[in-house]
Structure 1
Amino acid sequence: MNWIIIIIAGLFEIAFAACLGKAKEATGNLALYWYAGFLLCLTISMVLLVKATQTLPIGTAYAVWTGIGAVGTVLVGIIFFKEPADFWRLFFITTLIASIIGLKIASH
Protein backbone atom coordinates (compact mmCIF):
# COMPACT_ATOMS: atom_id res chain seq x y z
CA MET A 1 0.00 0.00 0.00
CA ASN A 2 2.82 2.44 0.82
CA TRP A 3 4.29 1.98 -2.66
CA ILE A 4 0.97 3.18 -4.09
CA ILE A 5 1.13 6.18 -1.74
CA ILE A 6 4.66 6.97 -2.97
CA ILE A 7 3.47 6.81 -6.58
CA ILE A 8 0.56 9.15 -5.84
CA ALA A 9 2.90 11.50 -3.97
CA GLY A 10 5.20 11.49 -7.00
CA LEU A 11 2.28 12.37 -9.26
CA PHE A 12 1.49 15.35 -7.04
CA GLU A 13 5.16 16.34 -7.29
CA ILE A 14 4.77 16.40 -11.07
CA ALA A 15 1.62 18.47 -10.65
CA PHE A 16 3.30 21.06 -8.44
CA ALA A 17 6.15 21.45 -10.92
CA ALA A 18 3.66 21.82 -13.78
CA CYS A 19 1.78 24.47 -11.79
CA LEU A 20 5.03 26.42 -11.41
CA GLY A 21 5.58 26.23 -15.17
CA LYS A 22 2.06 27.47 -15.87
CA ALA A 23 2.35 30.23 -13.24
CA LYS A 24 5.51 31.46 -14.96
CA GLU A 25 3.56 31.85 -18.21
CA ALA A 26 0.46 33.42 -16.62
CA THR A 27 -0.22 36.93 -15.41
CA GLY A 28 -2.52 38.54 -12.85
CA ASN A 29 -5.07 36.43 -11.02
CA LEU A 30 -4.44 33.43 -13.27
CA ALA A 31 -0.85 33.27 -12.00
CA LEU A 32 -2.15 33.38 -8.42
CA TYR A 33 -4.42 30.40 -9.14
CA TRP A 34 -1.48 28.43 -10.50
CA TYR A 35 0.57 29.30 -7.40
CA ALA A 36 -2.34 28.16 -5.22
CA GLY A 37 -2.40 24.89 -7.16
CA PHE A 38 1.34 24.61 -6.58
CA LEU A 39 0.91 25.00 -2.81
CA LEU A 40 -1.96 22.51 -2.69
CA CYS A 41 -0.09 19.87 -4.73
CA LEU A 42 3.09 20.46 -2.73
CA THR A 43 1.24 19.96 0.55
CA ILE A 44 -0.50 16.78 -0.61
CA SER A 45 2.75 15.39 -1.99
CA MET A 46 4.65 16.03 1.24
CA VAL A 47 1.91 14.61 3.47
CA LEU A 48 1.79 11.43 1.38
CA LEU A 49 5.59 11.16 1.43
CA VAL A 50 5.60 11.42 5.23
CA LYS A 51 2.89 8.77 5.47
CA ALA A 52 4.78 6.37 3.20
CA THR A 53 8.04 6.79 5.10
CA GLN A 54 6.41 5.51 8.26
CA THR A 55 6.96 1.97 6.96
CA LEU A 56 9.33 2.31 3.98
CA PRO A 57 13.04 3.12 4.31
CA ILE A 58 13.47 6.89 4.00
CA GLY A 59 16.32 6.65 1.48
CA THR A 60 14.40 4.39 -0.87
CA ALA A 61 11.08 6.23 -0.49
CA TYR A 62 12.66 9.63 -1.09
CA ALA A 63 14.66 8.40 -4.09
CA VAL A 64 11.57 6.84 -5.69
CA TRP A 65 9.47 9.94 -4.94
CA THR A 66 12.00 12.32 -6.47
CA GLY A 67 12.60 9.95 -9.38
CA ILE A 68 8.91 9.81 -10.25
CA GLY A 69 8.76 13.58 -9.97
CA ALA A 70 11.87 14.09 -12.11
CA VAL A 71 10.78 11.71 -14.86
CA GLY A 72 7.24 13.03 -14.87
CA THR A 73 8.32 16.65 -14.85
CA VAL A 74 10.66 16.11 -17.80
CA LEU A 75 7.86 14.36 -19.72
CA VAL A 76 5.39 17.14 -18.88
CA GLY A 77 7.98 19.67 -20.02
CA ILE A 78 8.45 17.85 -23.32
CA ILE A 79 4.74 17.30 -23.97
CA PHE A 80 3.16 20.52 -22.67
CA PHE A 81 5.96 23.10 -22.54
CA LYS A 82 7.65 22.08 -25.82
CA GLU A 83 11.04 21.43 -24.20
CA PRO A 84 13.60 19.53 -26.31
CA ALA A 85 13.45 15.72 -26.44
CA ASP A 86 16.89 14.82 -27.74
CA PHE A 87 18.53 11.40 -27.53
CA TRP A 88 20.63 12.01 -24.41
CA ARG A 89 17.78 13.51 -22.46
CA LEU A 90 15.56 10.50 -23.18
CA PHE A 91 18.47 8.12 -22.55
CA PHE A 92 19.08 9.47 -19.06
CA ILE A 93 15.35 9.53 -18.25
CA THR A 94 15.29 5.84 -19.22
CA THR A 95 18.22 5.07 -16.91
CA LEU A 96 16.45 6.96 -14.12
CA ILE A 97 13.34 4.84 -14.62
CA ALA A 98 15.47 1.68 -14.51
CA SER A 99 17.04 2.90 -11.26
CA ILE A 100 13.63 3.54 -9.69
CA ILE A 101 12.52 0.02 -10.62
CA GLY A 102 15.77 -1.37 -9.21
CA LEU A 103 15.24 0.42 -5.90
CA LYS A 104 11.71 -0.99 -5.69
CA ILE A 105 12.99 -4.51 -6.37
CA ALA A 106 15.88 -4.20 -3.90
CA SER A 107 13.69 -2.79 -1.11
CA HIS A 108 12.17 -5.34 1.27
Structure 2
Amino acid sequence: MSWPATAEALMRSRFEAFARGDAAHLLASWHPSTRPAELDLEPEVEWRRLQIADTVAGGPDDDEGVVEFRASYRSPGGAGLLHERSRFTRVDGRWVYLDGVILD
Protein backbone atom coordinates (compact mmCIF):
# COMPACT_ATOMS: atom_id res chain seq x y z
CA MET A 1 0.00 0.00 0.00
CA SER A 2 1.35 3.43 -0.89
CA TRP A 3 1.27 6.14 1.75
CA PRO A 4 -1.55 8.71 1.37
CA ALA A 5 -0.46 11.76 -0.63
CA THR A 6 -2.70 14.27 1.18
CA ALA A 7 -3.87 14.97 4.73
CA GLU A 8 -7.45 14.17 3.70
CA ALA A 9 -6.39 10.84 2.19
CA LEU A 10 -4.58 9.99 5.42
CA MET A 11 -7.71 10.91 7.41
CA ARG A 12 -9.73 8.56 5.23
CA SER A 13 -7.19 5.74 5.68
CA ARG A 14 -7.25 6.28 9.45
CA PHE A 15 -11.06 6.08 9.50
CA GLU A 16 -10.85 2.79 7.59
CA ALA A 17 -8.23 1.58 10.08
CA PHE A 18 -10.58 2.39 12.99
CA ALA A 19 -13.37 0.53 11.16
CA ARG A 20 -11.12 -2.54 10.63
CA GLY A 21 -9.54 -2.40 14.09
CA ASP A 22 -6.09 -1.84 12.56
CA ALA A 23 -4.19 -0.33 15.50
CA ALA A 24 -0.84 -0.82 13.73
CA HIS A 25 -1.79 1.60 10.92
CA LEU A 26 -3.22 4.10 13.39
CA LEU A 27 -0.02 4.12 15.44
CA ALA A 28 2.21 4.26 12.33
CA SER A 29 0.27 7.26 11.02
CA TRP A 30 0.44 9.18 14.33
CA HIS A 31 3.05 11.87 15.00
CA PRO A 32 5.79 10.56 17.33
CA SER A 33 5.33 13.48 19.76
CA THR A 34 1.62 12.78 20.34
CA ARG A 35 1.35 9.05 19.60
CA PRO A 36 0.24 6.92 22.56
CA ALA A 37 2.46 4.02 23.62
CA GLU A 38 -0.38 1.62 22.79
CA LEU A 39 -3.87 1.83 21.43
CA ASP A 40 -6.81 -0.17 22.74
CA LEU A 41 -9.60 -0.11 20.19
CA GLU A 42 -13.12 -0.89 21.29
CA PRO A 43 -14.28 -3.86 19.18
CA GLU A 44 -17.93 -3.22 20.04
CA VAL A 45 -17.82 0.19 18.30
CA GLU A 46 -18.81 -0.02 14.63
CA TRP A 47 -17.51 2.95 12.62
CA ARG A 48 -20.04 3.50 9.84
CA ARG A 49 -19.53 6.69 7.85
CA LEU A 50 -16.99 9.45 7.36
CA GLN A 51 -17.93 12.92 6.15
CA ILE A 52 -15.21 15.47 5.41
CA ALA A 53 -16.56 18.89 6.41
CA ASP A 54 -13.53 21.08 5.61
CA THR A 55 -9.89 20.93 4.61
CA VAL A 56 -7.22 23.61 4.89
CA ALA A 57 -4.01 22.97 2.96
CA GLY A 58 -2.75 19.40 3.38
CA GLY A 59 -2.12 18.86 -0.32
CA PRO A 60 0.74 17.02 -2.01
CA ASP A 61 2.97 20.12 -1.88
CA ASP A 62 2.09 21.23 1.68
CA ASP A 63 3.80 20.40 4.97
CA GLU A 64 0.79 21.00 7.23
CA GLY A 65 -2.93 20.58 6.88
CA VAL A 66 -6.23 20.55 8.73
CA VAL A 67 -9.14 18.19 8.13
CA GLU A 68 -12.49 18.66 9.84
CA PHE A 69 -14.63 15.55 9.80
CA ARG A 70 -17.70 13.88 11.21
CA ALA A 71 -17.55 10.14 11.82
CA SER A 72 -20.69 8.25 12.69
CA TYR A 73 -20.60 5.09 14.74
CA ARG A 74 -22.76 2.61 16.57
CA SER A 75 -21.91 1.23 19.99
CA PRO A 76 -23.80 -0.77 22.61
CA GLY A 77 -24.98 2.59 23.95
CA GLY A 78 -26.49 3.58 20.59
CA ALA A 79 -25.56 5.74 17.64
CA GLY A 80 -23.02 8.54 17.96
CA LEU A 81 -21.11 11.14 16.02
CA LEU A 82 -17.49 12.22 16.44
CA HIS A 83 -16.87 15.74 15.10
CA GLU A 84 -13.19 16.71 15.12
CA ARG A 85 -10.87 19.26 13.56
CA SER A 86 -7.58 17.40 13.11
CA ARG A 87 -4.10 18.72 12.40
CA PHE A 88 -1.71 16.82 10.15
CA THR A 89 1.95 17.38 9.37
CA ARG A 90 4.73 15.60 7.52
CA VAL A 91 7.45 13.48 9.10
CA ASP A 92 10.14 12.20 6.75
CA GLY A 93 7.93 13.17 3.80
CA ARG A 94 4.87 11.25 5.04
CA TRP A 95 1.63 12.71 6.33
CA VAL A 96 0.89 11.91 9.98
CA TYR A 97 -1.90 12.82 12.40
CA LEU A 98 -0.67 15.38 14.94
CA ASP A 99 -3.69 16.15 17.12
CA GLY A 100 -7.29 17.26 17.03
CA VAL A 101 -9.97 19.26 18.77
CA ILE A 102 -13.36 17.67 19.39
CA LEU A 103 -16.19 19.92 18.23
CA ASP A 104 -19.86 19.90 19.22
TM-score normalised according to structure 2 size = 0.32
* Structure with higher helix content: 1
Q: Which has the higher contact order (CA 8 A, sep 6+)?
A: 1
* Structure with higher strand content: 2
Bigger Cα Rg: 1
